[in-house]
């Protein structure tokens, strides 16, 4: 519960400190094909930096769960946030449970690089790759996880 409150607090702090009018809502359509619904809200914090608040729902085989995360982006190729080459750190939490009520929680910390294109006035496409560290455990299964992970993704969205 503390984790949910932390992410909620970060979300409202981020919303209250918007300096620019540039915002976007994005989804990852490829994840849906594999049972992962992932959506995010990205907003400019200044001319070349953004903060993204994201959530996900996971439902593959007999395992389901939810997650939340934040990512801070630095845009390098222009003075326009939400457009161009970007890189930045990310933090997240995922909670999973199987059909036998075994549960596990995982924290993630890492970084991503990518390129985001604003197409026209409102449509955007984001292609990214990341490297991260995952750590967590399951008291139900007496399992501890500590590993690195690579991520690749494509998101599409609406910007305003």
pLDDT digits (tens, 9 = 90+) for 85-142: 999 999 999 999 999 999 999 999 999 999 999 998 899 999 999 999 999 998 887 7
Cα separation values, 88 from 62, 132, 144, Å: 33, 12, 27
Domain 2-159 fold: Porin (2.40.160)
* Token duo for residue 153: 């993704």
How far is residue 53's CA from residue 70's CA, in Å, rounded to a whole number?
A: 5
Distance between CA atoms of 37 and 148, rounded to whole angstroms? 22
Residue 157 neighbours by CB distance under 10 Å: 22
- Taking only the tens place, the pLDDT of each residue in 64-73 is 999 999 999 9
Checking 28-33 for CB contacts under 8 A at 24+ apart, the result is: 28/153, 28/154, 28/155, 29/154, 29/156, 30/153, 30/154, 31/56, 31/153
Two structure tokens written together for 104: 């596990």
Q: Does the pTM exceed 0.85?
A: no
């Amino acid at each position: 519960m503390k984790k949910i409150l932390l992410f909620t607090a970060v979300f409202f702090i981020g919303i209250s400190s918007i300096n620019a009018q540039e915002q976007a809502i994005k989804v990852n359509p490829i994840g849906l094909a594999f049972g992962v619904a992932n959506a995010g809200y990205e907003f400019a914090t200044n001319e070349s930096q953004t903060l993204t608040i994201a959530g996900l729902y996971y439902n593959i085989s007999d395992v389901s769960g939810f997650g939340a995360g934040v990512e801070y982006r630095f845009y390098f190729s222009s003075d326009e946030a939400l457009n161009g080459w970007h890189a930045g750190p990310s933090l997240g939490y995922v909670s999973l449970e199987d059909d036998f009520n075994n549960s596990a929680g995982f924290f993630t910390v890492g970084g991503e690089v990518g390129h985001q294109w604003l197409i026209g006035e409102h449509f955007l496409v984001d292609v990214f790759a990341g490297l991260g560290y995952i750590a967590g455990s399951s008291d139900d299964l007496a399992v501890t996880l500590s590993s690195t992970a690579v991520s690749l993704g494509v998101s599409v969205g609406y910007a305003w």
